[in-house]
Amino acid sequence: MSSDSNTERGVVFKSTGSWYDVQDGMGKTVRCRIKGKFRLQGIRTTNPIAVGDFVQFVREQDGTGSIDTIEERRNFIARKSVNLSKESHVVASNLDRAFLIVTIAKPRTSSGFIDRFLVTAEAIGIPTTILFNKMDLIEGDEEASSRQEELEKIYSDVGYKTRRISAKTGLGIAEMKSALKDGIYLLSGHSGVGKSTIINTLIPGLELATADVSDSHSKGRHTTTFAEMFAVPGGGFIIDTPGIKGFGLVALKKETLNHQFPEFFELLQGCKFNNCVHMDEPGCAVRKAVEEGVVSDERYGNYVEMYTGFDEGPYR
């Protein structure tokens, strides 16, 4: 803690290279730079300060601020840096909940992507709600509706909250607003799943740029290039993140990957070996539960893919 009597406390809303937009105690934005160098929590990161960080700063005569302290993070979510394999990029910090936006069509979100995100969130203790967006697009489409219900069951059975929303028709938006009353919330998902449209609906007048999904590849075009936090009318903050192809987590270990699947962890005591990783060990309670249909074979398949590809996958 800085003892300077001129020191103020704020929260980082936006980071663009060497400048940070910090909201002060009065709700005003102060453009800040970092004073000196920071080493954070023993991990090498490409960005010393992330959106959601609480910082202490001193105002300069020109109205800008100088950040001299970053308060300890309750948690943070990171992805592997695109340019330096040994480093990570902190996407956001101090999160109360993550909302993962999933679409059944235009673009289609795979359960593999959902599970990679959930594993990341589980490992750092961030509860996640799965938002099924663009429900208006699957009305009357039996196959898409069936797939949506299947995914809803898979994740609600494990204990995740799921909601159906449509930014276009307003379905579920009022309920989401009330869920955002207090705290800092992360909105994530593939490009094109409607993050920016949802935020525009929640915060009238914001008018974030949105992009249509490309017809040729049914993939979204990136409209957000860096994480940014917005105040929601009525309380709470939401962080919009760039469309992320795959989350990696620096702190994740291959041998405890299975602990981040709650339904596997629950069954672990029934396994013959207490260090069972549910691959080919004898007396595995998880594989038995998959065979009996108690545990989703799709979730198990995603786990096997993550485990076997761990060392060269998005985790390293």
In this prediction, residues 146-161 reach a mean pLDDT of 96
Give me the residue spans of the domains in the chain.
8-73, 91-240, 254-308
Tell whether the model's pLDDT for residue 42 goes beyond 90. no
pLDDT attached to residue 9 = 96
Which CATH topology does 91-240 take?
A: Rossmann fold (3.40.50)
Tell whether the model's pLDDT for residue 216 goes beyond 50. no
CATH architecture for segment(s) 254-308: Orthogonal Bundle (1.10)
Give the CATH number of domain 8-73; options: 2.40.50.140, 3.40.50.300, 2.60.120.330, 3.40.50.11810. Answer: 2.40.50.140
Burial tier of 202 (Cβ tally within 10 Å: 0-12, 13-18, 19+): buried
- What is the Cα–Cα distance from 221 to 72, expressed in whole angstroms? 35
- What is the Cα–Cα distance from 73 to 41, expressed in whole angstroms? 9
Tell whether the model's pLDDT for residue 142 goes beyond 70. yes
In this prediction, residues 220-240 reach a mean pLDDT of 74
pLDDT attached to residue 149 = 96
The mean of the pLDDT values for the chain is 85
Tell whether the model's pLDDT for residue 82 goes beyond 70. no
pLDDT band for 205, please (50, 70, 90 cuts). Answer: confident
pLDDT band for 249, please (50, 70, 90 cuts). Answer: low
Burial tier of 158 (Cβ tally within 10 Å: 0-12, 13-18, 19+): middle
314: Cβ–Cβ under 8 A, 6 or more apart, which residues?
Answer: 79, 80, 116, 245, 246, 247, 248
